[in-house]
Homo-oligomer: A and B are copies of this chain.
Amino acid sequence: MYSYVSHLYCPKCQDNFDSSTKQHLCHCGSPLLVEYHLEELSRAINKDMLQTRPSSLWRYHELLPINSPENVVSLGEGMTPLVMMDELGKQIGIHSLYMKDEGLIPTGSFKARGASVGISKAKELEVKEIAMPTNGNAGAAWSLYAARAGIKATIVMPVDAPEITRNECAIAGANLHLVNGLISDAGKIVGDLVQKQTIYDVSTLKEPYRIEGKKTMGLELAEQFNWEIPDVILYPTGGGVGIIGIFKALKELQQMGWIKPDKFPRLVAVQAEGCAPIVEAWEKKEKSSEYWQNSSTVAFGINVPKAIGDFLVLDALYETDGCAIAISDQALLEEQKKIANTEGCFICPEGAAAFNAARKLRENGWIKETDKVVVLNTGAGIKYPNTVKMNVPIMEPEERININ
């Protein structure tokens, strides 16, 4: 069997739904999650079988919701490298510091994972047209994967979103709209559109399969650490699907007996000081977050004033003894620079925020010197040219470099 998908369920009211027809939110308003026949699955396959499979996220196809391999829409995404950050680790005081580099993936951001699995499932469900609001990277990824699947896409993004993501949507042939506002404004425009027309709404967590793509980050981390999970995972958190996905992956692997049942990594949700609703909720020990007024940060991917899955993110933090922390724009931009000239990695500002969070949590003792720590870099720095300031003089061909 290519997939061991069972059904969809609501994590809030526990109602069940059929995964072979189109589904969005539960009638209670909650996102839906995918359930698998895990016991059957763990009898049918074992870890060693993975070794000879291609190094893409589809190596875990039994744990993904696509029933038929011919519906898979893939550009080779996944199994991104786990990079040792020894020099930075020395500076921060963490012996084992790793970066999982989600810049090395089609479209240059982790959004490709959700797009690959989400579009594959949309194809399986015979969807002809999708629409979504985006802070840029998700729209770019879904536009390109939709093009590959022959599905029409309508994308609405804030004018302030990274410019390169417009190019990606445009060259993919998507129907692109810019809005003079935030992702929440884009969301309202998409909400109106999908009500008026039979367009499949693929807004964050409004279709249940994007999270299954993000989940593969957790599966890969477990495999890359040889099924010994690390102590701390830091994740830049906007909509929060990544953190929800990683937590879901680890729970599934525990149920299958592939990793120890008694240990979770402490999950850390990293936000920007200019948009930190999850941090505020976590500090107050709330179960959900409040809409963050006048949000603003250079780390545009985490400028999400209210996430629909906030309660699932907070749940993951509480259950794993994790935490939430907010980083200033200045601190994350300085960290981005440090990482490039110490480790040779040009990472995105969101990833830089997560590294700065590791530094701060080490300083205040929350992370110990001996903890095995992983930072998720969610995208390539080359998508954010504006974060690098420089002033380079121009030479004429006959000029020579002065040495002194």
Interface of A toward B, CB cutoff 8 Å: 51-52, 55-56, 73-77, 79-83, 87, 101, 103-108, 144-149, 154, 156, 159, 163-164, 166-168, 170-173, 176-181, 185, 188-189, 192-193, 196-197, 336-337, 340-346, 380-383, 385, 388, 390, 392-397, 399-401, 403
CB within 8 Å for A188 and B397 given contacts A340-B173, A346-B168 = yes
The interface residues of chain B lying within 8 Å CB-to-CB of A395 are: 156, 177-180, 189
Instruction: For residue A59, give the distance in angstroms from its CB to the closest CB of chain B.
Output: 11
Nearest residue (CB) in B for A167 is B388
Q: 16 more A-B contacts (CB under 8 A) besides A77-B81, A148-B344?
A: A73-B344, A101-B106, A106-B344, A144-B344, A144-B345, A145-B344, A167-B346, A167-B388, A167-B390, A171-B337, A171-B340, A171-B381, A178-B392, A178-B394, A193-B401, A380-B380
14 contacts between A and B (CB under 8 A): A75-B345, A107-B346, A145-B344, A172-B341, A172-B344, A178-B392, A179-B394, A179-B397, A180-B397, A185-B397, A189-B399, A189-B401, A192-B401, A193-B403
The listed residue (B104, B189, B197) touching A76 by CB distance below 8 A is B104
The listed residue (B177, B342, B400) touching A147 by CB distance below 8 A is B342
The interface residues of chain B lying within 8 Å CB-to-CB of A336 are: 171
Nearest residue (CB) in B for A104 is B104
Instruction: For residue A316, give the distance in angstroms from its CB to the closest CB of chain B.
Output: 27
Instruction: For residue A346, give the distance in angstroms from its CB to the closest CB of chain B.
Output: 6
Tell whether, in the assembled complex, residue B382 and residue A108 are in contact, meaning their CB atoms are under 8 Å apart: yes
The interface residues of chain B lying within 8 Å CB-to-CB of A74 are: 83
Instruction: Indicate how many identical chains form the complex.
Output: 2
Nearest residue (CB) in B for A341 is B173
How long is the Cα–Cα vector from A399 to B180 in the complex, in angstroms? Answer: 10
How long is the Cα–Cα vector from A83 to B96 in the complex, in angstroms? Answer: 34
Tell whether, in the assembled complex, residue B388 and residue A171 are in contact, meaning their CB atoms are under 8 Å apart: yes
The interface residues of chain B lying within 8 Å CB-to-CB of A394 are: 159, 178-180
The listed residue (B75, B164, B177, B344) touching A382 by CB distance below 8 A is B164
How long is the Cα–Cα vector from A192 to B395 in the complex, in angstroms? Answer: 14
The interface residues of chain B lying within 8 Å CB-to-CB of A392 are: 166, 170, 176-178
Nearest residue (CB) in B for A155 is B392
How long is the Cα–Cα vector from A159 to B395 in the complex, in angstroms? Answer: 9
The interface residues of chain B lying within 8 Å CB-to-CB of A385 are: 163-164, 167
Instruction: For residue A162, give the distance in angstroms from its CB to the closest CB of chain B.
Output: 10
How long is the Cα–Cα vector from A189 to B103 in the complex, in angstroms? Answer: 33
Nearest residue (CB) in B for A188 is B397
How long is the Cα–Cα vector from A197 to B402 in the complex, in angstroms? Answer: 11
Tell whether, in the assembled complex, residue B188 and residue A346 are in contact, meaning their CB atoms are under 8 Å apart: no
Tell whether, in the assembled complex, residue A192 and residue B400 are in contact, meaning their CB atoms are under 8 Å apart: yes
Tell whether, in the assembled complex, residue A75 and residue B83 are in contact, meaning their CB atoms are under 8 Å apart: yes
Central interface residue in A340, A381, A399, by most chain B CB within 10 Å = A340
Tell whether, in the assembled complex, residue A154 and residue B401 are in contact, meaning their CB atoms are under 8 Å apart: yes
Tell whether, in the assembled complex, residue B56 and residue A343 are in contact, meaning their CB atoms are under 8 Å apart: no
The interface residues of chain B lying within 8 Å CB-to-CB of A383 are: 382
The interface residues of chain B lying within 8 Å CB-to-CB of A154 are: 401
Instruction: For residue A404, give the distance in angstroms from its CB to the closest CB of chain B.
Output: 11
Instruction: For residue A70, give the distance in angstroms from its CB to the closest CB of chain B.
Output: 11
Nearest residue (CB) in B for A106 is B104
The 8 closest A-B pairs by CB, nearest first: A76-B81, A148-B344, A173-B341, A181-B397, A185-B397, A167-B388, A170-B390, A171-B340
The interface residues of chain B lying within 8 Å CB-to-CB of A80 are: 76
How long is the Cα–Cα vector from A344 to B143 in the complex, in angstroms? Answer: 8
